[in-house]
Amino acid sequence: MVIGSRGSLVVGAGLEVPLVGGSSARYINLDYAASAPALVEVWDEVQSFVPWYSSVHRGAGFRSQVSTAAYEGARDAVRSFLGGRPDDTVIFTRNTTDAINLLARCLPRETAVVTTLMEHHANLLPWRRHHAAVELPVPGSPTELLASVGDALGRIPAGRPALLAVTGASNVTGEVWPIAELAALAHRHGARILVDCAQLAPHRAIDVTGPDLDWVAFSGHKLYAPFGAGVLMGRPDWLASGDAYLAGGGAVAEVSAEGAEWTELPERHEGGSPNVIGAFALAAACRALQRIGMDAVAAEEKRLGDRLRARLARVPGVVTYQTWPGYPDRVGIAAFSVNSRDHAEVATILSAEYGIGVRNGSFCAHPLLAHLADGGPEEWRPGCGRRVPGAIRASLGLGNVEEDVDRLAEALREITTRGPRWRYRKLADGGVVPEPDDRRLPAFLSPAAEQEEVELLVGATAGAL
């Protein structure tokens, strides 16, 4: 397995996508921060497992026993990937959002929560809903961050349970947070720490024991295992005393006419039939990444990320965003705007004319975007009744190569100097579409489409494998 070589690592590498006007191009995936493609190793393992797939925990048949072993074994793979302590509980969830909402529901009464306005909404809104949280303003530097967190934690009365909820790496700027220092600070003040590792886990080694992180959460679909599972791992005590997250089968030990007794962890918070394939795939991704070596992943991504930022800096009219100017520790994520052009239009042109996939909008981090893009381009959100700033985000992962970064920079240069080659229409919801859009969906989504398109897709996938 060679990192940084196209086609060998992820499913769908080399996929051709249609462009407006009838031609096609190799798809350049620069949207890993939203969802990463499956690793080939993950896909292979899932295919080996699928014939054995069955119910877990309840079935007497041999397939059920295999599935139960696969599901329970997945917890060990996750624990090993995160350097978990022996008593850490591993709970499978749907994704990071689900994992953080679960923890929020289990906090002891009167827990004081400290978080920041730099967070993804998934690590902001659950605390607002369940607990009066202190939301610190976006700090100007890591030193300021540590100072304001220390100050907020210092105001919490002694003896009151407290939690610091922070991200491991920003999904907007890619900046990696000083997690070890934040954990030490939290513990010094008698607080616990949850780290939202949705963007950190795919790019950096995580070892919860070193900095003694109390809980971490991440999503399989960002970790090359897009089969619908996520994880909350950490200290069992608060989770063991919380009510079952979902009331129903699997989460109860006994039910009578009078009431119900919840089971122990981890099943207590995994009510209903679990996502066996999702958990198995997530574990396969953890094993595959450990084999590749997270240090090797980080080194290769640093090389490509540096190239991405350097190339963007040379495109006239492109402005990149950073919360802490000059801060060097970043994963391969870059948010930027193109002067005088709507971010939705630029993202649509990149897709329609160049076959490049990026994300645009406010990345579920409205307060941070409002801070970064102060006075910059804005996106209209009909539902919320006011304008929200927006930008474009390019994000990297395994399977990206230098040419991907170079093609993005070249496309942006053409867009800024020459403008689009096609017509586009702005929609009422702020989106932008090619007018007309003559690209056809692949045949499996359109029964009337020609068989050739199916062959095109299968060929591309087989090539990648």
Ligand X SMILES: Cc1ncc(COP(=O)(O)O)c(C=O)c1O
Nearer of residues 97 and 115 to ligand X, judged by Cβ:
97
Measure the N-to-C terminal CA separation of the chain; round to a whole number of Å.
Answer: 12
**How many helices (H) and strands (E) would you count in the chain?**
13, 21
Burial of 375 (0-12, 13-18, 19+ CB in 10 A): exposed
In the set 106, 197, 364, 384, the catalytic residue is 364
For residue 360, give the H/E element and its range.
strand 359-361
Nearer of residues 118 and 186 to ligand X, judged by Cβ:
118
Nearer of residues 223 and 292 to ligand X, judged by Cβ:
223
Amino acid identity at 156: I
Q: Which residues bind ligand X (CB under 6 A)?
A: 95-97, 120, 122-123, 167, 171, 196, 198-199, 219, 221
Q: Measured from the CB of residue 51, what is the shortest distance to ligand X in angstroms? A: 28
Q: Measured from the CB of residue 322, what is the shortest distance to ligand X in angstroms? A: 16
Q: Measured from the CB of residue 360, what is the shortest distance to ligand X in angstroms? A: 14
Nearer of residues 20 and 217 to ligand X, judged by Cβ:
217
Q: Measured from the CB of residue 239, what is the shortest distance to ligand X in angstroms? A: 18
**Where do the DSSP E strands lie in 220-316?**
230-234, 252-255, 260-262
DSSP secondary structure letters along 328-354: --B-SEEEEEETTS-HHHHHHHHHHHH
CB neighbour list of residue 28: distance below 8 Å, 6 or more residues apart = 354, 355, 356, 357, 404, 407, 408
Q: Centre a 10 Å sphere on the Cβ of residue 308 and count the other Cβ atoms it contains.
A: 28
Q: Measured from the CB of residue 355, what is the shortest distance to ligand X in angstroms? A: 23
Q: How far apart are CA 61 and CA 440, in angstroms?
A: 45
Task: Report residue 192: phi and psi, to 5°.
Answer: -105, 170
Nearer of residues 95 and 400 to ligand X, judged by Cβ:
95
| Residue closest to ligand X (Cβ) | 171
Q: Measured from the CB of residue 422, what is the shortest distance to ligand X in angstroms? A: 30
Nearer of residues 45 and 196 to ligand X, judged by Cβ:
196
Q: Measured from the CB of residue 45, what is the shortest distance to ligand X in angstroms? A: 21
DSSP secondary structure letters along 277-290: HHHHHHHHHHHHHH
Q: How far apart are CA 245 and CA 103, in angstroms?
A: 9
Q: Measured from the CB of residue 361, what is the shortest distance to ligand X in angstroms? A: 11
Q: How far apart are CA 269 and CA 444, in angstroms?
A: 37
Q: How far apart are CA 369 and CA 373, in angstroms?
A: 6
Q: How far apart are CA 52 and CA 346, in angstroms?
A: 46
Q: How far apart are CA 402 and CA 436, in angstroms?
A: 32
Q: Centre a 10 Å sphere on the Cβ of residue 292 and count the other Cβ atoms it contains.
A: 18
Sole residue written with tokens 């962890």: 265
106 is catalytic: no
Nearer of residues 167 and 351 to ligand X, judged by Cβ:
167
Nearer of residues 260 and 370 to ligand X, judged by Cβ:
370
> 96: helix, coil or strand?
helix
Q: Measured from the CB of residue 198, what is the shortest distance to ligand X in angstroms? A: 4
Nearer of residues 361 and 399 to ligand X, judged by Cβ:
361
Give buried/exposed letters for 32-59 (b at 16+ CB in 10 A, else e). bbbbbbbbbbbbebbeebeebbbebbee
- Residues that are catalytic: 364
